[in-house]
Amino acid sequence: MGLFSFFNKSINKEEVVEGYEGPSEEQFVDNSEPNNTEENIKVYNLDEIYDYASVDFEQRGYQDALTNPDTSYKEENIDLLLMDLEIRVQRAALFYSNLLLDLDFHILSRKDAGLIDTVKQLESQKNKIIDSKSQVEKIKIEFSEKEGLHKRITFSYKRGFNRGLASMSINLLNSK
């Protein structure tokens, strides 16, 4: 037997484990659907905050009054709407903070590379983001003082809810 005859040796079929067919596709390939829902990839910024605040909460309050005319239900729904706004504001603040950190890194590295025009563009973008972040901070302050968007959502929903209650009363009076 030569030195390399070990490599030329044929495989004895009895040595192979019975029923073993090798690795399966399921072990190595993930065929599940991607977990990138719209909510996961959504960017929360000022536009998202203002889009939410501009929803017709009056109509929603009206419909809710027709469904359940209890005032505790009204207050709970207002609280939920305001919590949703607060989440958007917090996520926007985090988004802008992270974006500023990324921009600072890019500014420093491009400055080190001597890319003056690129640095100026990045600094201009940074100023815009600082302005947006300060607007988010202003919204946070107004929210804590129950002013601004907080007041708009509360007023809009209450107005609709009261309109719904009035509509129910008018329908009752007209039916008699």
What is the structure's pLDDT at 171? 83
Mean pLDDT computed over every residue of the chain: 85
What is the structure's pLDDT at 16? 53
What is the structure's pLDDT at 14? 53
Q: Biggest alpha carbon distance in the chain?
A: 111
Does the pLDDT value for residue 31 go beyond 70?
Answer: no
What residues contact 58, with CB distance under 8 A and at least 6 apart? 156, 157, 159, 160, 163
149: closest CA among 52, 9, 22, 44?
52
What is the structure's pLDDT at 12? 55
pLDDT band at 26 (very low <50, low <70, confident <90, very high): low
Does the pLDDT value for residue 30 go beyond 90?
Answer: no
Residue 62 contacts residue 164 (beta carbons within 8 Å): yes
Tens digit of each residue's pLDDT (9 = 90 or more) over 140-157:
999 999 999 999 999 999
Does the pLDDT value for residue 61 go beyond 60?
Answer: yes
Q: How far apart are CA 111 and CA 105, in angstroms?
A: 10
User: Averaged over 95-105, what is the pLDDT?
Assistant: 95
Question: Which amino acid is residue 41, in one-letter code?
Answer: I
pLDDT band at 172 (very low <50, low <70, confident <90, very high): confident
Does the pLDDT value for residue 80 go beyond 80?
Answer: yes
User: Averaged over 44-51, what is the pLDDT?
Assistant: 94
What is the structure's pLDDT at 170? 87
Query: Can you spell out the DSSP letters for 44-110?
Result: -SHHHHHHHHTS-HHHHHHHHHHH---HHHHHHHHHHHHHHHHHHHHHHHHHHHHHHHHHHHHHHHH
154: closest CA among 141, 168, 142, 171?
142
- Does 38 or 130 have the greater pLDDT score? 130
User: Averaged over 43-58, what is the pLDDT?
Assistant: 93
